[in-house]
Structure 1
Amino acid sequence: MHYFWVMSARMTFWFEFASTYSYLTVMRIEALARERCVEVEWKPFLLGPIFAAQGWTTSPFNLYPAKGAYMWRDIERRAAGYGIPFRPWSGKDGRKFPQNGLLAARTATAALRERWGKEFVRRVYSAQFANGLDISNPKVIGDCIKAAGGNEQMFLHLGHSNTHKQVLRENTDAAIATGVFGAPSFTIGPELFWGDDRLEDALNWALSRPA
């Protein structure tokens, strides 16, 4: 017997590969959206230009140490509650935060056109936040492509192409125009929801306004 899911509502999911809270959302959103029959469009974008417009040279979690310390402990608690693997970020193992997710994001703009694209995104987040790997390393991204079901050479090439550089720029410009200021964010028409803790609210809002 075959089952067909009819999606009755739509939502856009904006994510940044350097975003800790986006990791939690990426690992949860597909199952929750399916339960509610909400179609979700995944949009990678960059927070760097948004931060720069506010005069920030790095993540606010670095600019405000108390906020950063809270965030890391909060992620650890929430990940444990969801049953999502998370490697605590001590700063003593040489890992830098935020990581450079530029190649990952460009590659994702191509991968998300494929059936395995969402799995690629999940694997990149897991590589960074569960396994402690450097996602700016092309080998790490290539391994994620291959594990998700894609051709690593082809999609690494696409990730370096001018076409997908432009797509990522357009995504970032669209996010800014929509009012997005952080990640993860969710938009349904003019309505904006921000944060992993607003995922369920956003899905419910989308469901209450059928496409």
Structure 2
Amino acid sequence: MKAINFYFDFLSPFSYFAWHNMQTLAKELNLEVHYKPVALGPLLNHWQIKGPGEITPKREFLLKQCLRYAAKLGLPFTTPKTHPFNSLYALRLSLRGVAGQDQARVIEALWKAGWQTRIDMGEPDELLNALREAGLPADELYEKSFTKEAKVELKANINEAISFGAFGVPSFVVGDELFWGNDALEDIRDYVQGQDPLDREKFASLLAETPRAAAQAL
């Protein structure tokens, strides 16, 4: 069974779509999914990238794109009550070291609560209510989410994602190969099935022989 790392932040609607679509892909390809919550901010800061919400036209365009995509998919979609929000509470609750065998259920409950029923995902009380409604031990999970081990695990996930070159979410890693975005799932399917159309020699050649404009300007 091949393993895939799935790096996500509850801030990202495209991570929500990818989470939904990953269920089908994992079954189809017999993939073991390693859920890796990460905070988007440190990824963007590391590569000095602005977040989508910081560029007004992009924010508006992406919301339209999300509504169109969800409608085509027949998937319930709204936005959390506030956005952006502090996602650290949700991220820590969904860590493997916190949720254990219930990790997939915790992640499902939080995605649905935020992006289907519009709770405030930055408010711990609303997160805990969502977990209780899903039949999960909310208070126990909340207590564990504040341990030193939880904070260390989240930081390790972020550093691991950066080490693979992840610059946003959702990101996926199969072996050492990085994929980014919900629309990369078709590429993941090809890669796992040994049908990757990427010409690696051409890629290396173009990368080496095509100068960057910014570098030329220095």
Whether these two folds match at TM > 0.5 is yes
Secondary structure of 1:27's match? Answer: helix
Whether the 8 Å contact between 1:12 and 1:40 is mirrored in structure 2 is yes
The alpha-carbon deviation at position 111 of structure 1 amounts to 4.8
The alpha-carbon deviation at position 128 of structure 1 amounts to 1.5
1:127 aligns with 2:130: no
Q: Which residue of 1 aligns with 2:30?
A: 37
1:180 aligns with 2:142: no
Of 13, 18, 25 in structure 2, the residue corresponding to residue 20 of structure 1 is 13
Deviations 1:114-173 (A, max 9, x none): 1x3212212212222222211121122212322343211110101111110111011111
Q: Which residue of 2 aligns with 1:10?
A: 3
The alpha-carbon deviation at position 55 of structure 1 amounts to 4.6
- Structure number with bigger Rg: 2
Q: Which residue of 2 aligns with 1:146?
A: 132
Whether the 8 Å contact between 2:98 and 2:150 is mirrored in structure 1 is no
Structural RMSD (CA): 2.0
Secondary structure of 1:28's match? Answer: helix
Question: Greater helix share, 1 or 2?
Answer: 2
Whether the 8 Å contact between 2:98 and 2:144 is mirrored in structure 1 is no
TM-score (normalised: structure 2): 0.81
Runs of 5+ unmatched residues, structure 1: 1-7, 90-94
The alpha-carbon deviation at position 207 of structure 1 amounts to 3.7
Q: How does 1:194-209 map to 2 (within 5 A)?
A: 194-208=180-194
Whether the 8 Å contact between 2:93 and 2:142 is mirrored in structure 1 is yes
Whether the 8 Å contact between 1:117 and 1:148 is mirrored in structure 2 is no
1:86 aligns with 2:45: no
TM-score (normalised: structure 1): 0.84
Give, in whole Å, the separation in 2 of the partners of 1:201 and 1:112. Answer: 30
Give, in whole Å, the separation in 2 of the partners of 1:162 and 1:88. Answer: 31
Going from structure 1 to structure 2, the CA distance change for 1:153 and 1:112 (only over 3 Å counts) comes to closer
Secondary structure of 1:85's match? Answer: coil
Going from structure 1 to structure 2, the CA distance change for 1:146 and 1:177 (only over 3 Å counts) comes to same
Runs of at least 4 residues off by over 4 Å? none
Deviations 1:62-117 (A, max 9, x none): 2221111110011111111122111268xxxxx43222110111111135521x32
Whether the 8 Å contact between 1:14 and 1:42 is mirrored in structure 2 is yes
Runs of 5+ unmatched residues, structure 2: 196-218
1:100 aligns with 2:100: no
Higher RCO (C-alpha under 8 Å, 6+ residues apart): 1
Secondary structure of 2:39's match? Answer: coil
> Percent identity among equivalent residues?
28
Give, in whole Å, the separation in 2 of the partners of 1:112 and 1:206. Answer: 28
